[in-house]
Amino acid sequence: MRVAMIGTGYVGLVSGACFSEFGHNVVCVDKDEAKIAGLHEGKMPIYEPGLEGLVESNVNAGRLTFTGDLEGAIKDADAVFIAVGTPSRRGDGHADLSYVYAAAEEIARAMNGYTVVVTKSTVPVGTGREVERIIRETRPDADFDVVSNPEFLREGSAIEDFMRPDRVVIGTSSERAQEVMRNLYRPLYLIETPIVFTSRQSSELIKYAANTFLATKITFINEIADLCEQVDANVHDVARGIGLDGRIGRKFLHAGPGYGGSCFPKDTRALVSTAQDAGSPLKIVETVVALNEERKRKMADRVIVAAGGDLKNKTVAVLGLTFKPNTDDMRESPSLDIVPALQEAGATVRAFDPEGMDEAKKLLNDVVWCDGAYDTMEDAHVLVIITEWNEFRALDLKRVKSLMKTPVMVDLRNVYRPEDMIDEGFDYHSIGRPTGNVGPA
């Protein structure tokens, strides 16, 4: 099948590369000329494990191409995916759909013959109807269907998630469009992936309900972690103890500095706005949004406490800036709240991230950018782990201690074991575990 992917970002590029791996002929379109020029030279615009090799092999096989020419890409396509951004609209939390609607208009003008237009972007319930209206208005003669097919991949394991998803959700009432979608995802039928066919509205809502549920689970365990600290319990044990219950499940029960990233914050806010407009407010999600914002801000206070109540003229070493490991994505990362709060409290911040430094430099000011983990620690009074990259999991603690001015660590991801840290002579602070404040040995 011939596929056009509009938007060549985290979702569009991965989806396009994976569809070409399935054997389809894919052209990825982006209006960002630098992105397309880079891709022509084999340069990935994002960091995603395994992506470069997948793109290279499919480009070499002639199944995957890149272009800025939307019209040329669309005119022969059987399916056109909209994978453009849907960021938060300033002020009201709604999803900004201007990119989606602009893409719909452009697609309408270029369409030729029966075309399935698929929204892969995360869009509020009712958007498919509006996309259909825009296309119909722009091209009354067009033969098309608009399908919702939300994407559930996670940055950092995006290719595996796309190739072996827990499920695929397809929202359409058109049998003709269903057939096209079945053909597109045929390789997944072979591995018995559940395919959920439903209405367009239900499909649109499934994506938001999934993300808000996961954000709620994280926020729940974060609150339980705070309680653990007050009652001398261990959040790891509590999470394991409840997660082994099949009705609850073990995933997304890791306490930390609050969720961030390109999806959860904006999607929770957007669903809250949708629900309010529909006269059916989601009070749980409203609370989750507020608690998470507060939590990210409060993380700096933990560092201040660990430093003895004051950060003036002190140096804080920060490890990890991206919202999670194995991505370069800095969107709404907790570090964007924590680092400025540390600076405001008087600290000099020295920081390192394995893949996120280029993005971080655009978003954070007055940081001393370092060349590696150990470089950050020189003469630091406190070391803070914000993102649990693998290379921060097995630091040489003796070396860390020798580099730092005072051996104080605030581990916001619970990477280390409190016992080990005490043995090594650290004043170690983590989330929701006893011995959170053990004092220097």
Ligand X SMILES: NC(=O)c1ccc[n+]([C@@H]2O[C@H](COP(=O)([O-])OP(=O)(O)OC[C@H]3O[C@@H](n4cnc5c(N)ncnc54)[C@H](O)[C@@H]3O)[C@@H](O)[C@H]2O)c1
Calculate the alpha carbon distances from 191 to 17, 152, 167, 188, 305 in Å.
19, 18, 11, 5, 52
**Binding of residue 86 to ligand X (CB under 6 A):** yes
Restricting to residues 144-173, name those near ligand X by CB under 6 A. Answer: 151, 153, 155
What is the identity of the amino acid at 44? Answer: M
Closest approach, Cβ 250 to ligand X, in A, equals 22
CA-based max dimension of the chain = 77
Nearer to ligand X, 214 or 368 (CB): 214
28 belongs to the catalytic site: no
Q: Residue 35 interacts with ligand X (CB under 6 A)?
A: yes
The active-site residue out of 18, 28, 263, 370 is 263
Smallest separation, CB 285 to ligand X (Å): 16
User: If we measure between CA atoms, which residue out of 316, 379, 391, 327 comes closest to residue 351?
Assistant: 316
Least distance (Å) from ligand X to the CB of residue 86?
4
Per-residue DSSP letters for 168-224? EEEE-S-HHHHHHHHHHTHHHHHTT--EEEE-HHHHHHHHHHHHHHHHHHHHHHHHH
Residues 41-80 that bind ligand X (CB under 6 A): 70
- CA Rg value for the chain: 24
Among 3, 4, 5, 11, binds ligand X (CB under 6 A): 11
Q: Which residues contact 190 (CB under 8 A, 6 or more apart)?
A: none
Give the distance, in angstroms, between the CA of residue 123 and the centroid of all CA atoms in the same chain: 16
- Choose which of 3, 4, 5, 10 interacts with ligand X (CB under 6 A): 10
Q: Using CB under 6 A, which of 84, 316, 384, 400 touches ligand X?
A: 84
**The one segment of 30-38, 132-140, 225-233, 268-276 that binds ligand X by CB under 6 A:** 30-38
Element of type H or E holding 147: strand 144-148
In the complex, the smallest distance separating the C-beta of residue 156 from ligand X, rounded to whole angstroms, is 9
Phi-psi region of 279 (alpha: psi -120 to 50; beta: other; left: phi over 0): left
Q: Helix or strand or coil: residue 19? A: helix
Which residue in 3, 4, 5, 9 binds ligand X (CB under 6 A)? 9
Query: Any contact of residue 12 with ligand X (CB under 6 A)?
Result: yes
384 near ligand X, rule: CB under 6 A: no
Residues near ligand X (CB under 6 A) = 6-12, 29-32, 35, 70, 83-86, 99, 102-103, 106, 121-122, 151, 153, 155, 262-263
